[in-house]
Structure 1
Amino acid sequence: MTNEIATRDEQHTVATQQPNSLPAPAPTEGTTALMAWAQEASLAYDMAQKLAATSFVPQSLRGKPGDIAAAILAGSELGMKPMATLKSIDIIQGTPALRAHAMRAVVQRQGHEIELVESTDTHCIMRGRRKGSDTWQTIEWTIDRARLMGLLSKDQWKKNPKGMLVARTTGELSRLIASDALHGMAYVSEELEGTVHGEIAQPRAPLSVAALTAPPAPAPAPEPAAADETHQVTRDDQPPADGIWDAEAAEDSVDWPETAQPGSGN
């Protein structure tokens, strides 16, 4: 009996000590990269807090250290240094975007080619080709195309149509020949500024459960007729033979229940 107890104690000791003796699993490549990115993000945020109130930060980012840190990280993925990033990335309606000159720089740094062929106030022609390719791609933007898209009412298009045409052509050409070099930041800020958005409907007050389940209010009782008044039934009181709704008669009526008013769809 004593030997059995001793054996069980030894087995219990081995079982409790075995997990602690196992080596820690080696970090995967993804985990290592994520840890390095987290350290970089922490450093970027510390830097952003110091820069948030300076004039080196664009107005759309000033006073927003979180957005500044995100811009610095995004610029780092594109191969840009922090200060260059702050002069090259705009936040347009909550979406980060590169300025046209910065997008050309990113594409050209990867070895792709972009050339300006012709540029005026009414049209812009640019061409480009991927690194190692012999085929040139040509993109043209005209003022008529901008008019069809409703862009000419924008302030920047009125003041600088030539520059806006160059920016639009740059964005379209860069996406065509080197979308992989942009890392998800595929639009220049001038394109987002010219985007036409639909109207935003005004929010309605939320409905409560009580309002949804409450029975309809009773219709007001009609006024009693005078004792000496009688109701003459004439052909005018009858519904039309062809079944067409008499709208004027419906509007003049006062005894429609609240839950079945004409024209209400109920």
Structure 2
Amino acid sequence: MSIQLSDQEMSILGAMPGPAPCGFDVSTMMFDPDLMGRLERFAELMATGKSTIPAHLRGSPGDCLAITIQSMQWRMNPHAVAQKTHVVNGTLGYEAQLVNAVVTAMAPTKDRINYEWFGDWHKVIGKFATRQNGSGKSYQAPNWKPEDEQGLGVRAWATLKGEDEPRVLELLLTQAQVRNSTLWASDPKQQLAYLAVKRWARLHTPDVIMGVYTPDELEPVEEKSINPTPAKNSSRTERLRSKLTADAPMVSDEEETVTLDGILLKIEHAQSERELNEVVADAKHLKNTEQTKARKAYKEQLIKLRALESSEQDLN
């Protein structure tokens, strides 16, 4: 994260009063009109960038101001932080790599966070395939079976200042339910370590990354009515159905969001027609344009499976 600031930006930030970022306090800044004015001018200049900031920040000084303030709290370069942001469902999210850098730099620990992986990772390391989605774009997908993930995990720990015993957190690969990055296929150990650090910080030093979320945490979750209220004039059958619904087990609100990429992964990972047909129900939740792409991938995979089955029968 070594993106250079321009001379004009350096002059704006360098002219700020006080002990600069190390003593930066948001509450003090809000009541300092001179400091706020300088930050706003810096954000306006930053928003004019083309190659130094991502597309979702260009022409948006308000978002650039928020990132600048956050960067000063973290003692980091605003441009470097900006490059590690994404917009997910209208909310600004930060990449896992940045969150890990923040925790390492800002957490009140005696040492850096340590890692220890356990389990037979040879079952999944290097076991990925390069495929194409409906639009022809190449991506890497897991080429292992779900049972291969059993017992694989990482142990993360660090010792807080003033304590003698380290705070330890263990995380299994099977617990990583939302996997939006293709790095989960090509480098699952790194991705799980990133996730472990984030969860360690959420548990032991929540103030360090309060209000900071990675894209996987910003995925929408559909609300479900656990105990619907029946209509006053409902029939006996409707009242019975309502009671049965109320007595049913609670449904977890952490269902994986159905996305086109996720459906395409399942289709191309299917090993039989039965597995392929199981994806159809989920694909119905996609948009019409996405369903068209999923349908095309379904037909292609079905042809491959039937051709493979036919060749195996010929050999027998």
TM-score, with structure 1 as normaliser: 0.50
Tell me how far apart the structure 2 counterparts of residues 78 and 32 of structure 1 sit (CA, whole Å).
16
1:40 and 2:35 matched: yes
Indicate if the aligned counterparts of 1:118 and 1:125 stay in contact, CA closer than 8 A: yes
1:79 and 2:105 matched: no
Indicate if the aligned counterparts of 1:78 and 1:181 stay in contact, CA closer than 8 A: no
Indicate if the aligned counterparts of 1:97 and 1:185 stay in contact, CA closer than 8 A: no
Which protein shows a greater Rg?
1
1:143 and 2:207 matched: no
Residue 61 of structure 1 is aligned with which of 47, 53, 57? 57
Pair 93,75 (structure 1): closer, same or farther in 2 beyond 3 Å: farther
Write out per-residue CA displacement over residues 130-155 of structure 1, whole angstroms, 9 at most, x where no aligned residue. 123212122232232224xxx25x45
Indicate if the aligned counterparts of 1:179 and 1:186 stay in contact, CA closer than 8 A: no
Indicate if the aligned counterparts of 1:78 and 1:106 stay in contact, CA closer than 8 A: yes
Pair 190,32 (structure 1): closer, same or farther in 2 beyond 3 Å: closer
Write out per-residue CA displacement over residues 209-241 of structure 1, whole angstroms, 9 at most, x where no aligned residue. xxxxxxxxxxxxxxxxxxxxxxxxxxxxxxxxx
1:179 and 2:209 matched: no
Amino acid at match of 2:115: L
Tell me how far apart the structure 1 counterparts of residues 81 and 31 of structure 2 sit (CA, whole Å).
23
Residue 103 of structure 1 is aligned with which of 96, 99, 103? 99
Tell me how far apart the structure 1 counterparts of residues 192 and 221 of structure 2 sit (CA, whole Å).
20
Ranges in structure 2 where 5+ consecutive residues have no aligned partner: 1-25, 125-148, 224-235, 238-316
Indicate if the aligned counterparts of 1:104 and 1:114 stay in contact, CA closer than 8 A: no
- CA apart distance, 1:65: 1.8
Q: Specify the alignment match of 1:133 in structure 2.
A: 163
Of 169-178 and 133-142, the range deviating more from structure 2: 133-142
- CA apart distance, 1:73: 0.9
1:124 and 2:124 matched: no
Pair 31,65 (structure 1): closer, same or farther in 2 beyond 3 Å: closer
Pair 105,95 (structure 1): closer, same or farther in 2 beyond 3 Å: same
Aligned-residue CA RMSD (Å): 3.4
Write out per-residue CA displacement over residues 68-120 of structure 1, whole angstroms, 9 at most, x where no aligned residue. 11111122123323233323444433334443333333333344231122285
Aligned ranges 1:1-266 → 2 under 5 Å: 33-36=29-32, 38-52=33-47, 53-110=49-106, 111-112=108-109, 113-118=112-117, 122=149, 123-147=153-177, 151-152=178-179, 154-156=180-182, 157-158=184-185, 160-182=187-209, 184-187=210-213, 189-192=214-217, 195-198=219-222
**3-state DSSP of counterpart to 2:55:** coil
Tell me how far apart the structure 2 counterparts of residues 124 and 98 of structure 1 sit (CA, whole Å).
22
**3-state DSSP of counterpart to 1:179:** coil
Q: Percent identity?
A: 22
Tell me how far apart the structure 2 counterparts of residues 48 and 32 of structure 1 sit (CA, whole Å).
19
Tell me how far apart the structure 2 counterparts of residues 40 and 139 of structure 1 sit (CA, whole Å).
40
Pair 43,190 (structure 1): closer, same or farther in 2 beyond 3 Å: same
Pair 59,139 (structure 1): closer, same or farther in 2 beyond 3 Å: farther
Tell me how far apart the structure 2 counterparts of residues 60 and 140 of structure 1 sit (CA, whole Å).
35
**3-state DSSP of counterpart to 1:132:** coil
Indicate if the aligned counterparts of 2:100 and 2:194 stay in contact, CA closer than 8 A: no
TM-score, with structure 2 as normaliser: 0.43
- CA apart distance, 1:32: 6.3
